Amino acid sequence: MYGMLKRTIFFTLLAGLWQLLFWLGIWPEYVLPSPVSVGKTLVNGFQDYSLLIGVAISMKRIAIGYGISLGVGIFAGLLIGRFRIFEDTLGSLISGLQTLPTICWLPLSLLWFGLNDKAIIFLVFMGAVLSIATGTDSGVKNVPPLYIRAAKTMGAKRWKLYLEVIIPAALPHIIIGMKQGWSFAWRSLMAGELLIVCLGLGHLLMLGRELNDMSQVIAVMLVIILIGILVDRLFFIKVERHIRERWGLVKS
């Protein structure tokens, strides 16, 4: 409750500062609209369903792309973390690809898939999979060898060893990789929707720019930020807290 009060006060002060800058007239209204103007644009966007449609389409794309990247990234990370041959080959490839900005995959995705959802989903996948694989790899390599030896002594082999020992012990690092992968996936989604003409939140951003409607641009940005906060609060923070409690890392 106290944390919610602090956040409310903080964001109220930010809105007040924004309104003050608007009153001072440092920038013209078409560059910095007032909070009231942006609020009206948000209300209108939900009333005419344009924002709801944009959110639904964008969330569908990121759910598909991020879901695929979870499966591929965790599997690749397990292989790299457990087997030297994959560490020397696939691990080196992933380390090199991580230096490549996701937007660099755009020309390739357009040539492979064309101007459609598949090209954007591919960008989302490439934005997330490397971080997830790296986080999983780090988690597997940091599993205490004693755990593995004890599990083998008790008869755990192959998939049972992974499911009951390695993955649970590596989970904190895997969650960190998933969280970082989510942020990269979200950025990749917006970049794809901005550059590929199609419906979605990125398209609404571009439409606002083309119409010189800064209220719409800021309104869509606020929706994007809100979705990011909700996903973090409703999933990642709860999962992280649960893991810390299970491992006895919660401060009393």
Binning pLDDT at 50, 70 and 90, where does residue 152 land? confident
CATH architecture label of 51-246: Orthogonal Bundle (1.10)
In Å, what is the CA distance from 225 to each residue of 60, 123, 139, 147, 222?
17, 20, 29, 40, 5
Q: For the chain, what are the domain ranges?
A: 51-246
pTM for the model stands at: 0.84
pLDDT at residue 252 tops 60:
no
3-state secondary structure of 241: helix
Question: What is the per-residue pLDDT for 73?
Answer: 94
> What are the structure tokens assigned to 26, written together?
């440092």
pLDDT tens for each residue of 59-102: 999 999 999 999 999 999 999 988 889 988 988 898 888 888 88
pLDDT tens for each residue of 96-138: 888 888 888 888 998 998 888 899 999 999 999 999 999 999 9
